[in-house]
Amino acid sequence: MNKTYIIIALLLSLATVTNAQDGIDEVLRRVEQNNKTLDAARKLLQAERVEARTGNFLANPTADVEKLWTKNANAGYELTVKQSIDFPSAYARRNDLARLRENTAARRYAAARLQVLLEAKQNCIEIVYLRTLQALLDARLQNAERLAEAYRKKIEQGSANRLELNKILLETLDAREQVRDNQSAIALALERLQALNGGLPVDFSPSTFPAVGAIPPLDRLQEQYLAADPLLGEAAGQEEIALQEVRLSRALSLPKFDVGYKRAASPGTSASNGVVIGLSIPLFENKNKVAASRARASLAAAVTGETRLALTSSLRQLHDRLLSLDAARNDYATVLADLRGMELLNKALDAGQLSVIDYFIELTTFHASRLRQLEIEKEYHLTLAQLLRLDFM
């Protein structure tokens, strides 16, 4: 029993077992393949790519036939076929706009993917935490059951009283209930992981936290995120799209052209053929469109700036939180690594140096320290996963 606590303390302090990381990596690979949200996001991305390439073709040609006649005779007909053409720069602007929209759609998918994979990894960390907690709770229950058996014998021998046994039985009952509650929590966490995997079973067995390296400096993290964060990239992409729409609005404010063919024929005469050339000056159709595009561009720039500030602030908070948790976990590992709290308490109780009441007061403090150490370890890994989520890219 005491060896169990020592093993747990070493695992928490070192966290160098790599099979947990390997297990998480495999889970993330499967989740990316099977997750229903990501499957829908991939289909949406494909649709957005197709949609981005529409609307940059020539307008539909028109054909007019005019049947002419006089009061007493057929005067013939006129056939006109025309093609409307925007100012050439408009097509270049639309091509640029389509490319930007495709890139922004890809960034939107990347953001959705990161969010799903982060949720899956944090769920794996939660499972590891609960399994490690299970070992602590099992050890506590085993200790309580041992004490209960020992004090039953002492009562039979007349060396203990019923009140002491009742206290131990209450401890046993509380420990057993916590074991059951934690087993249910493990089952629920595994169900959540299966749901993230598209409802397919997931084989995730590690019960130790993944290995970690040195915490990256904040300035390097900020540089990476400002260059590659998909949410910021999407906001910047929307800003680029808005600026390109301003340029397109200007191009559409330039004259349009109509070119075509015309044929006129009358009875008794030779048919005549000709070329149709027309010019459309957009005096009214595009009124205020450039101003509206500029307003949208200004809004998009503000959103990009706000997203950048929120990202840098979030990174700074996460980094500070991680450093604080790292210091706390190291402190707990140093103090508790050589602590034989339960062993010493059991010896003192058996030797009569502690009453049962004093024993459980000390034991509660000992358990609280172990649980707090485990909670800090979990929070450290959850925060680290969030801070390093760009590793999923």
Domains and CATH numbers, the chain: 14-301 (1.20.1600.10)
Contacts of 235 (CB under 8 A, 6+ apart): 300, 303, 304, 307, 308
Q: Are 165 and 148 in contact (CB under 8 A)?
A: yes
Confidence at residue 21, expressed as pLDDT on a 0 to 100 scale: 61
* DSSP element (H, E) containing 73: none
- Residue-level pLDDT, tens digit, the chain, 393 residues: 444 444 444 444 444 344 566 589 999 999 999 999 999 999 999 998 888 887 777 778 888 888 777 766 677 778 888 888 888 888 888 888 889 999 999 999 999 999 999 999 999 999 999 999 999 999 889 988 988 888 888 888 887 788 888 888 998 999 999 999 999 999 999 999 999 999 999 999 998 998 888 899 999 999 999 999 999 999 999 999 998 888 888 887 788 888 888 888 877 677 788 888 888 777 666 667 778 888 888 999 999 999 999 999 999 999 999 999 999 999 988 887 666 566 777 777 777 777 777 777 777 888 888 899 999 999 999 999 999 999 887
Contacts of 269 (CB under 8 A, 6+ apart): 76
Contacts of 164 (CB under 8 A, 6+ apart): 151, 355, 356
The C-alpha atoms of residue 95 and residue 334 are separated, in whole angstroms, by 62
Confidence at residue 192, expressed as pLDDT on a 0 to 100 scale: 96
The C-alpha atoms of residue 34 and residue 194 are separated, in whole angstroms, by 10
Longest CA–CA separation in the chain, Å:
137
DSSP state of 199: T
Confidence at residue 75, expressed as pLDDT on a 0 to 100 scale: 72
3-class SS of residue 209: coil
Name residue 96's amino acid.
D
The C-alpha atoms of residue 39 and residue 12 are separated, in whole angstroms, by 37
Confidence at residue 342, expressed as pLDDT on a 0 to 100 scale: 67
DSSP state of 215: P
Confidence at residue 11, expressed as pLDDT on a 0 to 100 scale: 42
**Strand pairing report for 272-280 and 74-85:** unpaired
Q: Are 359 and 188 in contact (CB under 8 A)?
A: no
Confidence at residue 71, expressed as pLDDT on a 0 to 100 scale: 67
- Outline where 197-288 has alpha helix (H): 218-228, 230-252
Q: Are 250 and 282 in contact (CB under 8 A)?
A: no
* DSSP element (H, E) containing 261: strand 256-265
Name residue 311's amino acid.
L
Cβ atoms within 10 A of the Cβ of 140, count?
25
The C-alpha atoms of residue 128 and residue 134 are separated, in whole angstroms, by 10
Confidence at residue 284, expressed as pLDDT on a 0 to 100 scale: 67
Note the residue count of the chain. 393
pTM (2 d.p.): 0.82
Token match 């005779």: residue? 73
